[in-house]
Structure 1
Amino acid sequence: MSLGVGVASSSKGMGGGEEGKKIGGNESENESETGGVISRNMSESSLGATEDEDDVESKIQLGPQVTLKELSEKDKDDESLRKWKEQLLGSVDMESVGETLDPEVVILDLAIKSPGRDDISLPIPKDGNVPNPWFTLKEGSKYSLNFTFRVSNNIVSGLKYKNTVWKTGLKVDSTKEMLGTFSPQPEPYSHEMPEDTTPSGMFARGSYSAKTQFLDDDKRCYLELNYFFEIKKDW
């Protein structure tokens, strides 16, 4: 799951990957990423087997980071560059973004969707502390993770979702998904992870610990949550 076990719009689930990531169902880790991205530093082409290993990355050098106002003023006579900036920036209100170099990304909402059931809403705690367990999933059930986020101040390059899950101290799932590059806008963006299926069986049931992060190409972390969840015979 992208939530960690074989469980985080526009793409795939708390588990990311075209094939469901099933905790306990496979001893090998499953990692995937989707979505093209115009990145100031790099776009990921492959993912490491563990979070302690460096990612394999291909870098696209697009020069130093600048404010949106500076970017909009540069090379006005270059028609191709002007069209590219229009496509990238869309209808950004330059008066509202100021002169800030660093983007601001706020994760507004997380929800777990499962066919035939009401969505499980997971409010984002301001203090970073979540209830224990944060949620419960039924074994062998299909689910997907949906989240919304808002971008302000500047372009966020290479925003990605990262999730790691452990059971009885052993890492059982590691997921990464590239979300893309986003310009500031008043309306929130929405992203839905691919549908996945929770593992089933006696060894799959129980309590899991997980860590979810949202990061960009510059390794800025916009949200980190450490939490527990459970897989049971029923909801």
Structure 2
Amino acid sequence: MGFDENKEIGEKSGAEKEILNPENDERDKLGRQMSENSLYTTDLEEEDYENKLELGPQFTIKEQLEKDKDDESLRKWKEQLLGSVDLNEIGEALEPEVKILSLSILSPDRPDIFLPIPEDGKPKSPWFTLKEGSRYKLRFTFQVNNNIVLGLKYTNTVWKTGIKVDKTKEMLGTFSPQLESYTHEMPEETTPSGYFARGSYTARTKFLDDDNKCYLEINYTFDIRKDWLTT
């Protein structure tokens, strides 16, 4: 969930991705002097800064449509976004509700891996195992209720021996509440291979919106091995 050995640092393709090379000697020497806790703290400080941004006022869907009634283009866009949503059924909720229903890993080399989502956001370790040098992609389904969710995005950060080796961010979009679930597939990636790539990794996955409201955070570990686990 967040590797592509063919990408360079800072390159963007579909998802915004930062790839770090764990075999870089200078970075490795420096990184090993820092504890994994200090790296997590740095990331949390960045998130705290984002969470301190002043948020604008919130409106129910009915209030949004009423507020934009004089802006024809904006009103038509919201009506198109809402589609067949029954405004009488969604109530007067200000906060959207996003529920991640399922997560799975798809690879042409094996049957799909379905990942159970624990309520506490901490799956049993390791959550899954990937084969080195294999192609894979992540698929997830989610449901939106109550109100429009603006700028829903997926982020994933990966560490190995306390060193951040990968960071992925992908904007999923804006979604209206509906009975049917939404499905999204991440771009295909390839796991790194070789002696230094194999081993155990820690990671954190989050689903957030434009207001930095987090709908799901999963802290987990996974392994990269020579082969897939037998099923």
Shorter-chain TM-score tier: 0.7 to 0.9
1:200 to 193, 203, 208: 193
Counterpart of 1:234 in structure 2: which amino acid? D
- Scaled by the length of structure 2, the TM-score of the pair is 0.77
Cα deviation, residue 122, structure 1: 0.4
Could you say which structure has the higher helix fraction?
A: 2
Deviations 1:98-117 (CA, angstroms, capped at 9, x unpaired): 11111000000000000132
Counterpart of 2:165?
172
Counterpart of 1:134?
127
Matches within 5 A, 1:1-235: 3-6=1-4, 17=15, 24=22, 53=46, 64-76=57-69, 79-235=72-228
User: Does the CA contact (< 8 Å) of 2:134 and 2:191 recur in 1?
Assistant: yes
Cα deviation, residue 18, structure 1: 8.4
Counterpart of 2:227 in structure 1: which amino acid? D
Cα deviation, residue 75, structure 1: 4.8
**Closer/same/farther in 2, CA of residues 93 and 199 from structure 1, 3 Å limit:** same
User: Does the CA contact (< 8 Å) of 1:89 and 1:183 recur in 2?
Assistant: yes
**Closer/same/farther in 2, CA of residues 16 and 210 from structure 1, 3 Å limit:** farther
User: Does the CA contact (< 8 Å) of 1:149 and 1:189 recur in 2?
Assistant: yes
d(CA) in 1 for partners of 2:166 and 2:136? Answer: 16
Cα deviation, residue 70, structure 1: 1.5
d(CA) in 1 for partners of 2:215 and 2:72? Answer: 35
d(CA) in 2 for partners of 1:19 and 1:78? Answer: 36
User: Does the CA contact (< 8 Å) of 1:97 and 1:154 recur in 2?
Assistant: yes
Deviations 1:104-153 (CA, angstroms, capped at 9, x unpaired): 00000000000132110001112323111000000000000000000011
Counterpart of 2:185 in structure 1: which amino acid? E
Cα deviation, residue 74, structure 1: 3.6
CA RMSD of the aligned region, Å? 3.2
d(CA) in 1 for partners of 2:105 and 2:166? Answer: 18
Query: Aligned to 1:88, what secondary structure does the other structure show?
Result: helix
d(CA) in 1 for partners of 2:193 and 2:91? Answer: 51
Structure number with the bigger relative contact order (C-alpha 8 A, sep ≥ 6) is: 1
Name the count of aligned residue pairs. Answer: 203
Larger radius of gyration: 2
- Scaled by the length of structure 1, the TM-score of the pair is 0.75
Unmatched 5+ stretches in structure 2: 6-12, 26-42, 51-55
**Closer/same/farther in 2, CA of residues 212 and 78 from structure 1, 3 Å limit:** closer
Counterpart of 2:145 in structure 1: which amino acid? S
Q: Percent identity?
A: 68
Query: Aligned to 2:154, what secondary structure does the other structure show?
Result: strand
